[in-house]
């Protein structure tokens, strides 16, 4: 695939017209813009392993919509097929060596990455979350393995890719994100209408989490072996026990209402716009979305955003989110039950997502990850499954 074939007026007009079906689109000209692709870990790693042109490409588009002239900065996101991401992650496991090298191969299609090329289009086309970037066009050609999203260019925004600077997130920013998170989770709670469930058949479940027990242990062993300063014996023991308890605590999770969680809800994929003097949360990169209890996104977000100097704020933010979710759903009035469910979701985040992050960290270090790992262990301290 030649990227230049898609960065032209004819193609951009076509996908914009398909998206804005009830209006007339005419694209006059396009100017290419620079875009930083480094923040997208999956794209950056996969790009080195594929012959396809993938990544984010900036465009300034001059067009008319029903005859009215417009000039917008846009980003064309050309996505790799999920199989390419699966292969890239399998390669990382091989570079880690040891037990992980042999175990990951068996489970590589079951960790939530195989359908990444279709999930984001599905969400933008059918569910229209209110706090995503503006979408200008979508294009899918499964025979040619072409998956494209044309979206708003996020340049005049605040806190874009602040994963290395969580201290920039004020109390107002955090609560704005939590409020939008609760609104999304409440709207999708036990709601699977309008989505192709085939794309989410690898969502976590009692069966899936139990089947992958050898992988969870291999990921933990890799983290403990490669980064003993982060995974000391006490932390390893804690995680080993959590993995052993998966069949038990997932019997409880299985019975709880599920929602469509972003599953990558952190400062790498978010920013704030200012509208009429008010900050407005924006969340993008939905390719890892999955079904889990609402607290799962909350667990990840707080592990990323709370550094040691704000661990004491964790309970306050959890309660802010719980009260907002309870107001919107009429559920979750019991704080003890909510916190226990959050604890189980946090364990899942640490076993699965943090385990995979540590696999990548072994090969290509992520400067933000030690802070996230420490915040994760603070989040689960003082809790138990009893």
Q: Answer whether residue 110 is part of any domain.
A: no
Beta-carbon contacts of 258 under 8 Å, excluding residues fewer than 6 positions away, are 189, 190, 203, 291, 292, 293
In angstroms, rounded to a whole number, what is the distance separating the alpha carbons of residues 84 and 90?
10
CATH of the domain at 319: 3.90.1200.10
DSSP 153-214: ---S-BSTT-TT-GGG--HHHHHHHHHHHHHHHHHHTT--TTS-GGGGTTS--HHHHHHTHH
Q: Answer whether residue 270 is part of any domain.
A: yes
Contact 373, 230 (CB under 8 A): yes
**What is the model's pTM?**
0.94
The token pair that represents 272 in the structure block:
């704030």
Nearest to 19 by CA among 140, 144, 142: 140
Residue 118 has pLDDT above 80, yes or no: yes
pLDDT digits (tens, 9 = 90+) for 30-65: 999 988 776 655 555 555 555 567 899 999 999 999
Contact 342, 295 (CB under 8 A): yes
Confidence of residue 108 (pLDDT cuts 50, 70, 90): very high
- Same domain, yes or no: 362 and 281: yes
Domain with 296, as residue range(s), is: 157-386
Q: Which of 105, 133, 153 is the C-terminal boundary of a domain?
A: 153
Q: What is the mean pLDDT of residues 268-273?
A: 96
- Same domain, yes or no: 201 and 232: yes
Contact 231, 217 (CB under 8 A): no
Q: What is the pLDDT of residue 297?
A: 98
Q: Which of 107, 133, 153 is the C-terminal boundary of a domain?
A: 153
Residue 382 backbone zone (phi > 0: left; psi -120 to 50: alpha; other: beta): left
Q: Answer whether residue 107 is part of any domain.
A: no
The token pair that represents 355 in the structure block:
């385990």
In angstroms, rounded to a whole number, what is the distance separating the alpha carbons of residues 149 and 253?
34
- Same domain, yes or no: 138 and 215: no
- Same domain, yes or no: 65 and 185: no
- Same domain, yes or no: 356 and 219: yes
- Same domain, yes or no: 25 and 165: no
- Same domain, yes or no: 66 and 186: no
pLDDT digits (tens, 9 = 90+) for 154-175: 999 999 999 999 999 999 999 9
Residue 332 backbone zone (phi > 0: left; psi -120 to 50: alpha; other: beta): left
Q: Which of 124, 153, 182 is the C-terminal boundary of a domain?
A: 153
Q: Answer whether residue 100 is part of any domain.
A: no
Residue 1 has pLDDT above 50, yes or no: no
CA 94 from chain center: how many Å? 24
Domain count within the chain: 2
- Same domain, yes or no: 288 and 345: yes
Contact 103, 211 (CB under 8 A): no
Q: Answer whether residue 106 is part of any domain.
A: no
Q: What is the mean pLDDT of residues 88-103?
A: 95
Q: What is the pLDDT of residue 275?
A: 84
Residue 74 has pLDDT above 90, yes or no: yes
Which 3 state secondary structure label does DSSP give 76?
A: strand
């Amino acid at each position: 695939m030649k990227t230049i074939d898609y960065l032209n007026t004819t193609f951009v007009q076509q996908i914009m017209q398909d998206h804005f079906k009830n209006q007339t689109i005419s694209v006059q000209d396009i100017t290419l813009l620079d875009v930083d692709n480094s923040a997208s870990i999956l794209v950056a790693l996969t790009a080195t392993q594929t012959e396809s042109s993938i990544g984010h490409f900036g465009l300034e588009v001059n067009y008319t919509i029903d005859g009215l002239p417009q000039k917008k900065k846009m980003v064309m996101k050309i996505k790799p097929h999920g199989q390419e991401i699966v292969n890239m992650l399998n390669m990382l496991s091989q570079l880690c060596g040891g037990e992980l090298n042999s175990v990951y191969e068996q489970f590589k299609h079951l960790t939530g990455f195989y359908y990444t090329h279709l999930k984001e289009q599905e969400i933008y086309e059918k569910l229209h979350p209110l706090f995503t970037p503006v979408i200008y066009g979508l294009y899918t050609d499964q025979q040619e393995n072409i998956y494209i999203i044309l979206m708003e260019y996020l340049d005049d925004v605040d806190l874009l890719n602040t994963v290395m600077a969580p201290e920039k997130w004020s109390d107002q920013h955090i609560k704005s994100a939590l409020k939008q998170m609760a609104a999304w989770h409440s709207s999708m709670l036990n709601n699977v209408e309008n989505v192709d469930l085939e794309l989410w058949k690898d969502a976590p479940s009692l069966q899936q989490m139990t089947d992958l027990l050898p992988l969870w242990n291999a990921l933990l062993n890799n983290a403990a072996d490669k980064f003993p300063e982060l995974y000391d014996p006490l932390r390893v023991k804690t995680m080993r026990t959590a993995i052993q308890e998966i069949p038990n605590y997932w019997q409880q999770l299985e019975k709880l209402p599920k929602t469509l969680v972003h599953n990558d809800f952190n400062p790498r994929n978010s920013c704030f716009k200012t509208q009429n003097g008010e900050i407005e949360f924006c969340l993008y990169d939905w390719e890892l979305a999955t079904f889990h209890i609402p607290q799962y996104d909350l667990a990840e977000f707080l592990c990323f955003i709370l550094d040691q100097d704000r661990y004491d704020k964790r309970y306050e933010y959890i309660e802010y989110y719980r009260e907002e979710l309870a107001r919107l759903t009429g559920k979750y009035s019991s704080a003890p039950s909510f916190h226990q469910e959050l604890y189980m979701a946090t364990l899942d985040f640490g076993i699965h997502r943090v385990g995979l992050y540590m696999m990548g960290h072994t090969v290509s270090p992520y400067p933000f990850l030690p802070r996230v790992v420490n915040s994760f262990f603070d989040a689960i301290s003082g809790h138990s499954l009893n």
